Structure 1
């Protein structure tokens, strides 16, 4: 079963693909522009782009003879929404830990007086 989150996280697992998305967050770019900072071949970057396209994270547009790529944020928003529930869970735990540590420090300070 391949749902949107699985595709998104699989695409994000690779650092090169994350770097491509970071570049596209600045605005559309051609494949050549995206390949420029990497010490790899153009076909390799194209394969990374294909994974990102299949995950719905990148869309290739057609402008005259150019085919700029642009970031599609909807899959990232879905991943963020899924992560948010765990962020809240751990946030509550950290708040409880913080309160416990403050109680322990206050008790220790009181005993030291």
Structure 2
């Protein structure tokens, strides 16, 4: 993830799911009977990931970074924002707040 600028919320989400799905489709075409079930399962997972909204990808990334920094409390707290900015010094305060809110929204959605 890259923070760009102090005024904008410019966090880039990199999606490789489409390229992975294409490679899996090609492999599936050449696969023998023993490989097919595993490749079909992998293709299904890749296709499912390609439909995940950007906010969910950002929130998941931010939540993992916050937890890796040792924060165990709410993901949208001041301490979580501080942990995220410590882990990713290039993020502005505004970016870190938005990312922590997206991370917290994921935990609310899951719980």
Q: Same fold (TM over 0.5)?
A: no
Which is bigger in relative contact order (C-alpha 8 A, separation at least 6)? 2
Question: Which is richer in strand?
Answer: 1
> Normalised by the size of structure 2, how large is the TM-score?
0.32
Largest Rg, 1 or 2: 1
> Normalised by the size of structure 1, how large is the TM-score?
0.32
